Amino acid sequence: MKRRTTLLVLVAAAVATAVFASTAAAAQPTKTTFSGATFNSVLSGVCPFDVNVVSTDSGTEIDFVDQGGNPTQSLVHQVEQDTFTANGKTLTGIPFTFNLDILFDSSGNVTHAFAEGVVEKIPLPDGTLFVSAGRVDFVDHPGVNFVLSPDVGNPGNVAGFCAALAP
């Protein structure tokens, strides 16, 4: 009986050591801060016309990798401000904060890119505030560089947004 107990303890210790050793072998997460990143995109299919978008972002990104150095997840906490132009009209959004969780498969391909929080916040000329908030999975929008309304949540007053930029 004592021999069996000793064997079980040794097996348990070996398993625990293997688990902790494989966890310890993974590289530490990499944290990057970014500020003033600007990019241009075109919002299509929302209004009867295309809308040009200039986005300015700042925030923090934390990247995780497995034991082989392959990406497994990236977490981004970001503040963004967007400017929309169409038909000689401009709307400037209010800076908003959201979180982005990017997940990778074992080959390093993105499987999901979930954004959660405010998606957009824009004062409209009629005195109302366009606010969209919820969750977007950018993987479900292939080829799209900018999403105005979430997949799940409050889409905002899209008709009011389009009317403010209409010819």
pLDDT at 22: 46
pLDDT at 120 (0 to 100): 95
Taking only the tens of pLDDT, the chain with its 167 residues reads 433 333 333 333 333 434 444 445 568 999 999 998 999 999 999 999 999 999 999 999 999 999 889 999 999 999 999 999 999 999 999 999 999 999 999 889 999 999 999 999 999 999 999 999 999 999 999 988 889 999 999 999 999 999 999 99
| CB burial readout 30-57, b (16+ within 10 A) else e | eeeeeeeeeeeeebeebbeeebebebbb
- Residue 17: the pLDDT is 39
Which pLDDT score is estimated for 5? 31
| Vertex 100: Cα angle to 42 and 20 (nearest 5) | 150
**How many CB atoms within 10 Å of residue 29?**
14
- Annotate the chain with DSSP letters as a single string: -HHHHHHHHHHHHHHHHHHHHHHHHSPPPEEEEEEEEEEEEEE-SSSSS-EEEEEEEEEEEEEEE-TTS-EEEEEEEEEEEEEEEETTEEEEPPPEEEEEEEEE-TTS-EEEEEEEEEEEEEE-TTS-EEEEEEEEEGGGSTT-S--SS-SEEE---HHHHHHHH--
Domain positions in the chain: 27-165
Which pLDDT value is given to residue 26?
66
Task: Judge contact between 107 and 14, C-beta under 8 A.
Answer: no
